[in-house]
Amino acid sequence: MPATANLWALTEKEKQTLRLIVRGYDAKSVARSLGLSVHTINERLREARRKMGVSSSREAARLLFETEGDGRSAPIRELSADKEIGEDRGPGPIDQVPAPVDGVGRAYRHSPIIIGVLLMTLALGLLASIMVPNMVLVPASPPAASDEAAHSAVVDAARQWLALLDQGRWDDSYRATGSAFRTLNTAQIWADISRKVRTPLGAVMSRTFFSQENLPAPPAGYEVVKFRTRFANKADAVETVTLDREDDQWRVVGVTIG
């Protein structure tokens, strides 16, 4: 049950402002770009945060970015701090690339089974999350000896979590997700979606590790692990699991099966 921007009842003006924020603008440069006062921009951001139930404008912008799945957007850069900016500040650098005003339809035809924060947020939303087409993913460098344990731990965490889905242990899999995921989903919603999407695929016949990539999205980046999986009722599938480091453990914040 993928999240949509309509979930928060954002106005087009609020979404337009968040799209500029996710591209690296601060409130001052957003105001200059749109020909508005900084006070107006701050009011839009404050209202968007209230509707989305977050305390950070950068978090609100990231959630909208992951939800819309806008492949034309530039990769997320370091966002400005969430603070009120007065009009007496000196002008800052302005990104001349226009931000999209209208949302776009989802380019992926995959059947998402979870809202991630990807980065999701991600989107993944991150990264549920729904993976964003054409987003720049930085391939993980070949792990040095000191990094092999961390690399293996991410893949193992993703594999063990998918095993919970294979067994229909929806509550256990929900408890193993990150706080960002649980903010957007209740245990009941997750169980209902899992029964609807995962159960019809049938038993797992084979699951092979395919790749691991780092998604450099705020606040600290996400790890994206992919497996090639053969189900009893789907011969060739790709499972994409997005994980975040939380409380010294890898927690799932998004997954797609396509």
- CA–centroid distance for 223 within its chain: 11
- Whole-angstrom distance, CA of residue 20 vs CA of residue 29: 9
pLDDT tens for residues 122-143? Answer: 333 433 443 334 433 444 445 4
Instruction: Order across the sheet with 138-139: list the strands.
Output: 111-112, 249-257, 234-246, 222-231, 204-215, 138-139
pLDDT of residue 94: 41
pLDDT digit string (tens) for 98-112? 444 444 334 444 444
End-to-end CA distance of the chain: give it in Å, rounded: 15
State the pLDDT at residue 201: 93
Among 244, 21, 16, CA closest to 5? 16
pTM of the predicted model, to two decimals? 0.45
- Model pLDDT for residues 187-196, shown as the tens digit of each residue: 999 999 989 8
Structure tokens at 156: 């193992």
**pLDDT for position 44:** 95
CA distance linking residue 105 with residue 243, whole number of Å:
25
Q: What is the pLDDT along the chain (258 residues), one digit of tens a residue?
A: 344 556 688 999 999 999 999 898 999 999 999 999 999 999 999 999 999 999 999 999 999 888 886 444 444 443 333 444 443 344 444 444 444 444 433 444 444 434 443 334 333 343 344 333 443 344 444 545 445 565 798 899 999 999 999 999 999 999 999 887 898 899 999 999 989 898 999 999 999 998 998 888 766 678 999 999 999 999 999 999 998 988 888 999 888 988
Which residues 6+ apart lie within 8 Å of 206 measured at CB? 229, 230
Contact by Cβ (8 Å): 190, 114: yes
Peptide bond just before 112 cis, omega within 30 deg: no
Q: In the prediction, which pLDDT does 66 show?
A: 87
Backbone angles phi, psi at 57, to 5 degrees: -65, -35
Cα–Cα–Cα angle for 68, 237, 117, rounded to 5 degrees: 30
- How far, in Å, CA of 168 to CA of 209, rounded? 21
Q: Which among 181, 172, 23 has a CA at the least distance from the CA of 93? A: 23
Residue 29, helix vs strand vs coil: helix
pLDDT of residue 255: 87
Contact 73, 66 (CB under 8 A): no
DSSP state of 165: H
Picking from 101, 87, 105, the residue whose alpha carbon sits closest to that of residue 4 is 105
pLDDT, position 113 = 39
Beta bridge partners of 237: 229
| Tens of pLDDT, residues 163-199 | 999 999 999 999 999 887 898 899 999 999 989 898 9
What is the per-residue pLDDT for 6?
Answer: 61
